[in-house]
Structures are given as C-alpha cells and as structure tokens.
Chain A
C-alpha cells in the first residue's frame, strides 16, 4: 500500500507569504542623471579599443575596481559592442606609467607620455583609441531605524525597520589617444533610498544605485565614443 503524504500550508498563511514574496521581488527606486560635455569629435572603428581606468590618486577615496569592470563589461556587450582592454592588463603592460603616483592627470601629460617610443609602441599594440578615466564613489548616508532579532527555544525572528540612502557620483573623462586631447566628460549621479522592513524575516528592498550608475554611464560612453 502506498501512502502519499500531502503537506499543505494552512490557507491563512498563504496571504502573508505571497505578500512577503512580492515585497522581496520589489526593488527600491533609483534616480540617475547623466550629463555629457563634448569637447571634440569622436568615432571608433572595429580595430580600435578603449581602455577604462580608475582614478586612484586621492587619499580620501579611490574608484573601485568593480565599478571600472562593470562599465567595461557593459560597453563590451550588446549592439555595437566596443573592444575594451581590461584595466589590470593595460596597467601591467604600461608599467610604470599608469600607476597611482605616475599616471597622467591632464591630457597635456598624455602628450608628454606619448613622446616615449616604448609607450607609443604598447599603445599601438593594444590599438587604444580612447582612454576613459573614471573617478567617483558611492556614499551611504541618512541611516535610520533599527532592527532587532531574537532567538528562543520556540523559534526566532526579527522586528523593526531600517532605511538608508546611497548616492553614487562618477565622472568619466575621455581622452583621444591619436590626438592626445580631451574630447569630453560624462558624469553620472544616481541616488536611491533602500528599505529593510523586518516582520519575522528581514525583507531587503535595495536600491541598486551603483549598478544603475554603471549601466547608464556605460551606455552613454558607448554612444559618445561612437560619435552618435
């Protein structure tokens, strides 16, 4: 004799569980603003490459490698994908010219750097047409509320509410390697409020601020270097 065990949730539980599932699938809103300032004409061929580098000269903060990677990956996929050279590969190949203390800060410095035959050779080898300098960070502020969790013999749970605001501010300066000049600047500012209500289980409603700044900036950069 075969007995089938059926484990059904009481119907009274279904509503709260569905509600929790819906809440978990929600994301908090993010506002992103993109500004573009063009200083020169741009265009890129299929043989040309772009290298995206993070600024790390400042003592207070440094542009995160993950953000640089995110922008690069986004530019290198989809329609009209662009050849993007990985940051570490480029910096190692160009050593010691693009280290935090030795990297060119202005496009005039790039002109001096391009006077070095070894530098020009490596740039040509990579087929670098544009250097994009990313500078910025994400800051968290206005943390409010509190969540407390407790565990006892009969089970455990969390109660409370927390919220915080994330603010991403990044700037991308584009240098044309062929003319050693600055051709434009794109800035991306994204803000978003994240919430964490907790009724037995914490439900994170996270604003994907940095991810939105990355995707918006990458899309705009892609258009910018293509000269659209």
Chain B
C-alpha cells in the first residue's frame, strides 16, 4: 500500500468571513466551496498515490498450422487465471498491478483450437474423463518480470514470462512437463502512457509464447514420445 499523507488546513480568512456577511443568498457558501475544493485535492492526491491496475488486453491471430488429431482438454487453474504481477517503485511502494489471466485465456482459446482437432475447456480436472478428451493441458505462469524504461535506461518496456506447461492423461498421469519463456517489448514513446507501454509489451510476450508454443509443441521430447506411442498403437 502507498504511504501518502495529506494534511488539510480548514482555516477561513477574515476577508472571506466578512464577504460571507455581505452575501444575500449564495447558491453555495464560500465555506462549502472551500470544503469541496479541499476534498477534490485530497481525492486527487490519493489517486496519484494509488497503484495503477493494468488488465492486459490484446488480440491474437489464429495460427496457420496443421491440426494434431487429438481431443485436448484445457484447464485454466490457479496460477494463470488469478495471476497478478506487482511492480514496486524505487521506494518499495506498489506502482503497477498487471493482471493477465483473462488475456492468457483468450490467447489459449485462440491458439489451441487451431492446433488440435477439438478442444474442451474444463471446469475441473476431475471432469476430464467424462469429456472424452485424450489429454489435459494445464498452463501456469511461474514468473513474470517487467522492465521499465526509467529503471533499465532503455527506451522500451519489456516483459519476460516463464511458464510451466503440463500435459497429463485424463487420470492425471504424467505425459509431459516443460518450461517455456516468452519475451516482448514495446518502444517507449513520449506521447504514450506507461500503462500502454506495459500492455503492449505484455501482448508482444504473449504473441511470442503463442508462436513458439504452436510451432514447438510436438518437438517437446516427452510430448513427441507420447504422440509416437499413440500413433503406433
């Protein structure tokens, strides 16, 4: 939380009090006006101190790749949907809160149907067997890093994300577990805001994830072994 303190002085000058006596029926008294202005100033000061929340928003193209003949269940669990990164200022105060759960779901909901014959979004891992899926995919964010121009001395915002990807059988048995990283940057512009820069860098990182995931999925050794075992059965 921020440590902003605001002191307010309510003293009314004598000239203002004299003016009050002369006024017949003011719509708003000077004291009320003064209180209103002070309240506005307090609100503005508090607003400038509060951490700003960025809900990452972006659109992702559908990959042009041949679909794998599999019915895939996908489970968006904790560690993805509720992931919130907190960027601290130099003074250790919360400066930006980056929420990327919704946009990650949007990304996977665009990419996975292009990669697989059919995709089923699961409400719980227990529902996998009943849905008749071949495997369950569970993406999770392990680490999120943000590079701000004022800290890195570069002219760009940078986002780096490390993921843990898991592929299991419908009974939860191990198929594959691997790590993926994604990187994106957005040029800092004099006429743009930090929120916009962070959002654009995050979207670029997600796009990087989507391209590497869609092209590299079958090259993951354990995934490749499992696919080969399935095709030979």
Q: Is B112 an interface residue (CB 8 A)?
A: no
**Across the A-B interface, how many residue pairs have beta carbons closer than 8 Å?**
36
Q: In the complex, what residues of B have CB within 8 A of residue A118's CB?
A: 64-66
B208 and A99 within 8 A (CB): yes
Name which of A95, A99, A119 has the most chain B CB atoms within 10 A of its CB.
Answer: A95
Query: Bound state CA distance, A113 and B61, in angstroms?
Result: 19
A96 and B187 within 8 A (CB): no
Q: Is A97 an interface residue (CB 8 A)?
A: yes
Q: Is B81 an interface residue (CB 8 A)?
A: no
Chain B 196-218 residues near chain A, CB threshold 8 A: 207-208, 210-212, 214-215
Q: How far is the CB of A206 from chain B (nearest CB, A)?
A: 16
Chain A 75-110 residues near chain B, CB threshold 8 A: 92-97, 99-102
Of the residues A64, A93, A101, A122, contact of B211 by C-beta under 8 Å: A101
A122 and B64 within 8 A (CB): yes
Report, as a range, how many residues of chain B touch the other chain.
Answer: 10 to 19
B215 and A96 within 8 A (CB): yes
Interface SS majority for chain A: loop
Given contacts A64-B187, A102-B215, A118-B66, contact A93 B208 (CB under 8 A): no
Given contacts A64-B187, A102-B215, contact A94 B64 (CB under 8 A): yes
Q: In the complex, what residues of B have CB within 8 A of residue A100's CB?
A: 208
B66 and A101 within 8 A (CB): no
Q: Is B147 an interface residue (CB 8 A)?
A: no
Task: Tell me the count of chain A residues lying within 8 A, CB to CB, of chain B.
Answer: 15
A99 and B64 within 8 A (CB): no
Query: Bound state CA distance, A95 and B61, in angstroms?
Result: 6
Chain B 170-189 residues near chain A, CB threshold 8 A: 185, 187
Q: How far is the CB of A96 from chain B (nearest CB, A)?
A: 3
B63 and A95 within 8 A (CB): yes
A102 and B66 within 8 A (CB): no
Q: In the complex, what residues of A have CB within 8 A of residue B208's CB?
A: 99-101
Q: How far is the CB of B214 from chain A (nearest CB, A)?
A: 5
Q: In the complex, what residues of B have CB within 8 A of residue A97's CB?
A: 64
B66 and A96 within 8 A (CB): no
Closest to B60 in A: A95
Name which of A62, A64, A102, A122 has the most chain B CB atoms within 10 A of its CB.
Answer: A102
Extra inter-chain contacts (17) besides given A92-B61, A95-B63, CB under 8 Å: A62-B185, A93-B61, A95-B61, A95-B62, A95-B64, A95-B210, A95-B211, A96-B64, A96-B214, A100-B208, A101-B208, A101-B211, A101-B212, A102-B215, A118-B65, A118-B66, A119-B64
> B: which residues have CB within 8 A of A?
61-66, 185, 187, 207-208, 210-212, 214-215
Can you list 26 A-B contacts (CB < 8 A)?
A92-B61, A93-B61, A94-B64, A95-B61, A95-B62, A95-B63, A95-B64, A95-B210, A95-B211, A96-B64, A96-B65, A96-B210, A96-B211, A96-B212, A96-B215, A97-B64, A99-B208, A99-B211, A100-B208, A101-B208, A101-B211, A102-B211, A102-B212, A118-B64, A118-B65, A118-B66
